[in-house]
Structure 1
Amino acid sequence: MRTKLFSYLNLDSDVENFDSIHATIERDINFKGTNLWILSFAIIVASVGLNMNSTAVIIGAMLISPLMGPINGMGYSIATYNLPLFRRSLKNFLFAVAASLVASTLYFVISPVSTAHSELLARTSPTIYDVIIAFFGGMAGVVAISSRFKGNVIPGVAIATALMPPLCTAGYGLATGQFVYFFGAFYLFTINTVYIAISSVVISQILKFPIRTVVEEKEKKRINQWITVIIIITLIPSLYFGYELVQRERFNENADRFIKSVSIIEGNYLLNQDVNPGKRTIRLVYWGNSLSEKQKRSIIERASSFSLDSSLIQLEQGFSLLDEKKNVDEISKLNSEINRLKMVLSKKEQDADSLRIRLEIGKQLLTEVKAFYPQVTTCSYAEAKSYDDSTKKYVQEPLVIFISRKEDFSTADRAKLQTWLKNRLNNKTARAYFETRK
């Protein structure tokens, strides 16, 4: 059983010739000719996609970007202790990074659109989840490069690990002087770079790529120490940011449930709320009868039921005697909100009345029909949707079942009851069914 399991997990049978793998990695390292032109185009495409907030364009830039080449080269050269190849990979990688930063910065300097859209902001707050994506995405990429069956893994890895967008976002930060964006995006790019390279190291060692250079044990140990240091330095901030992300999401969920529970407080209506997950504060603005101290304490104390610190709840009364214009505006808002709530309550009452009436229809029909047809002992009422395959629409049809426990319904009785039912319900689609249970 264990041997069979290992045979499924074994990669050796699918691994490409080591010389071919080495040649592929060496070829993709260089940024000249075709790769240089493709890099230039990818930079512009990614920058425009971020500027226009176009997800499709950004994905296109990820697919055509050749940045994975030197990163895989660095990981492969570290795993095989090929320092000359590592230097070449690092040199080409730094050149690509510098070119991308310069080009994207120049683009955003001259672009008339400087708004930070959602696609751009998404690249400024890396977390531990980005580490996981980069590491396992990189492993998939290296396995695909090493395999004789490439498939469509490489494009998928390019999209998942997203090297080009954070680099162009860093250029946006430089162009607009928003260095928080620059450092956040560049840190995300660093995470992707480091953990894709580390995944290359891991797979290269698992597949036992041959060491092509002579290296001393002391040098190997020093390289391994440097790898450990880089992994730790890159990982620690992402753990903190990941923890902060989880806390913010949890705070938002708790705040949302808390706000719904205090939207109406004894004649006071919640007009506005402001939830700040960064500062962990909740600001609530009420309108209506002035909140008493008792009501304020009740609202603040209720926060603890939703795992919220009561000291973070800020309560404000929307009405201000010092600002007449504001009072008029607030009164208008209050009237609109009151009218809306009245309409909502009226609609709910109508729905409830309609439901109660429908529940009683069967009972009413039974009472009325027994006066003429005493053999009817049970009456069931329901509304069904009748679909027409030519129009793909449905018609709501009342269905009534009359049950007799004494004698069968004659044909004449059935016809009379059917006609009576349609007139009684004022619905020509109403249908009557008859059943005898003796």
Structure 2
Amino acid sequence: MNNALIEKFRIRQEKEDVSVIIESIDKGVVFKGTNLWVLIFAIFIASLGLNVNSTAVIIGAMLISPLMGPIMGIGLAVGINDLPLLRKSIYNYCVATGAALATSTLFFLLSPLDDAHSEILARTSPNIYDVLIALFGGLAGIIATSSKQKGNVIPGVAIATALMPPLCTAGYGLATLQFYFFTGAFYLFIINTVFIALATFITTRFLKFPFKHLPDKKADTRAQRIIWGIVILTILPSIYFGYDLVQQDKFVKKANQFVELEAKFPNDYLLQKNIDPKKKSITLTYGGAEIVKEDIARLQQKLKSFDLGNASLEINQGFAYLAAVKGNTENNEQAERLNFILKAKETELQALQHKMDSLQQFNAQGRQLFDEIKTQYPDINSLVLSAGNDFKSDTISRPTVLVALSFSGKRSSTDKGKIENWLKTRLRNNALKVYFQ
């Protein structure tokens, strides 16, 4: 039973001939002619998708892109000790990256739209999940390439690992001189590159691809040293990237938990929250009553309870902060955003206050009606007064008022008519609905 189960996971029986695999990857490494033009057009399509915030267009560009070729070539070359293939893969990887950056930068320089939509913003802050996607996507890609049953895995890997959008976002950062976008997006592209190449390297060693040796022993030793040097240089950043991203992700989770559970003040509401895991800073902007220094100091002390003792907490509050922000021309956009949030909160509070006033008015009015009816009909037990909507077949709802009355004894139709007419006059509402229980 165990042997049969293990047999299902064996992949060496389905492995393609090694020479066929190497030839297939080697063909995809070179960027010239058709491959280079396909890459340029794919970059234009992806940049257009980012520009108009269209996920479907971006996915289409990722399907077209041949960017994975040189990256898998690097991993394969390291795995089989093929120095010429490694040189060729690195050279073509640099050519492809340079062409992609130049194309996307040119597109965003010419485009009249320069807003950073959600599809662009999503590529500026890599996290641990991007590392895992690149690693598992790379494993799926090289295993499918090495198998006789390739199926449709490669297009899926191209979409999952998402090499194109980060490069285009980096071009957007260069074109708009927003280097935060460039560094964040290019960082994500490097992460994808490192882990796809690492996955290819691991798989080639696992599948026992034949190691290449040079005729000259000294040259062979030198080549192996170069290869292993590149392996180490590849693995060390990947370990750092992985550790750094895990730590950043932990910081963001703890900071959000801290804000949700502790950062609450009476008569104040949170306008804006900014958590920066790289600087380990938390900036909170409040609107409402002034927050005293003692409360801020008490909140800062609670950071240790959430393992955020080394984090800095900054509290901005009130209209004084907005005035200070407005005084700085560099922060006009932030001031407008905060004003918009503040107005939205005020509108929300006004709506809630209106609802509360309506409820209080109905409660007072209901009690008054009950007392007045009880003087005429002492056997009344209860009165329910509520606002509602009258829905009919024409699909148009009409606001109305509902009154439900309960008496100990039965009421005659004459009494019911008198009570209903009295209620309509008393409440000045002919659309009133009266129900006797």
TM-score tier after normalising by the smaller chain length: 0.5 to 0.7
Partner residue, 2:397: 394
CA offset at residue 66 of structure 1? 0.8
Partner residue, 2:334: none
- Secondary structure of the structure 1 residue equivalent to 2:74: helix
Partner residue, 1:323: none
Over 3 Å counting, the alpha-carbon distance change for 1:398 and 1:234 in structure 2 is same
Over 3 Å counting, the alpha-carbon distance change for 1:89 and 1:254 in structure 2 is same
CA offset at residue 44 of structure 1? 3.4
CA offset at residue 274 of structure 1? 10
What is the CA–CA distance in structure 2 between the aligned matches of 1:318 and 1:376, rounded to whole Å?
Answer: 54
Mapping 1:297-316, distance limit 5 Å: 297-304=293-300, 307=303
1:139 paired with 2:142, answer no
CA offset at residue 192 of structure 1? 0.9
1:234 paired with 2:235, answer no
Per-residue displacement from partner, 1:315-345 (whole Å, max 9, x unpaired)? 89988xxxxxx9xxxxxxxxxxxx9999998
Mapping 1:126-165, distance limit 5 Å: 126-145=126-145, 146=147, 148=149, 150-151=151-152, 153-165=153-165
What is the CA–CA distance in structure 2 between the aligned matches of 1:13 and 1:429, rounded to whole Å?
Answer: 80
> For residue 380 of structure 1, what is the amino acid of its counterpart?
V
1:430 paired with 2:432, answer yes
Per-residue displacement from partner, 1:230-285 (whole Å, max 9, x unpaired)? 11223314533653465467658867998863877xxxx99x99979548486989
- Secondary structure of the structure 2 residue equivalent to 1:165: helix
Give ranges in structure 1 of 5+ residues lacking alignment. 320-325, 327-338
For residue 403 of structure 1, the aligned residue among 406, 410, 429 is: 406
What is the CA–CA distance in structure 2 between the aligned matches of 1:364 and 1:16, rounded to whole Å?
Answer: 86
Over 3 Å counting, the alpha-carbon distance change for 1:412 and 1:82 in structure 2 is farther
CA offset at residue 163 of structure 1? 1.7
Larger radius of gyration: 1
Over 3 Å counting, the alpha-carbon distance change for 1:16 and 1:399 in structure 2 is farther
> For residue 151 of structure 2, what is the amino acid of its counterpart?
K
Per-residue displacement from partner, 1:144-181 (whole Å, max 9, x unpaired)? 54473634x54443334232333345556667887776
| TM-score normalised per structure 2 | 0.66
CA offset at residue 40 of structure 1? 2.0
User: Across the two proteins, how many residue pairs are aligned to each other?
Assistant: 400
> For residue 198 of structure 2, what is the amino acid of its counterpart?
I
Mapping 1:13-412, distance limit 5 Å: 17-18=16-17, 24-47=24-47, 52=51, 54-56=53-55, 58-79=58-79, 85-104=85-104, 111=110, 117=116, 123=123, 125-145=125-145, 146=147, 148=149, 150-151=151-152, 153-170=153-170, 184-204=184-204, 208=207, 211=210, 226-237=230-241, 239-240=243-244, 243-244=247-248, 247=251, 261=265, 277=276, 278=279, 280=281, 297-304=293-300, 307=303, 351-391=355-395, 393-406=396-409, 408-412=410-414
Over 3 Å counting, the alpha-carbon distance change for 1:426 and 1:107 in structure 2 is closer
Decide which moves more: 165-174 or 376-385: 165-174
What is the CA–CA distance in structure 2 between the aligned matches of 1:254 and 1:190, rounded to whole Å?
Answer: 32
Root mean square deviation of aligned Cα: 5.2
| TM-score normalised per structure 1 | 0.66
Instruction: Confirm or deny: 8 A CA contact 1:285 1:318 kept in the other structure.
Output: no
Give ranges in structure 2 of 5+ residues lacking alignment. 321-326, 328-342
What is the CA–CA distance in structure 2 between the aligned matches of 1:387 and 1:12, rounded to whole Å?
Answer: 64
Over 3 Å counting, the alpha-carbon distance change for 1:229 and 1:31 in structure 2 is closer
What is the CA–CA distance in structure 1 between the aligned matches of 2:267 and 2:436, rounded to whole Å?
Answer: 52
Provide the identity percentage.
37
What is the CA–CA distance in structure 2 between the aligned matches of 1:401 and 1:175, rounded to whole Å?
Answer: 68
Over 3 Å counting, the alpha-carbon distance change for 1:411 and 1:169 in structure 2 is closer
Instruction: Confirm or deny: 8 A CA contact 2:255 2:282 kept in the other structure.
Output: no
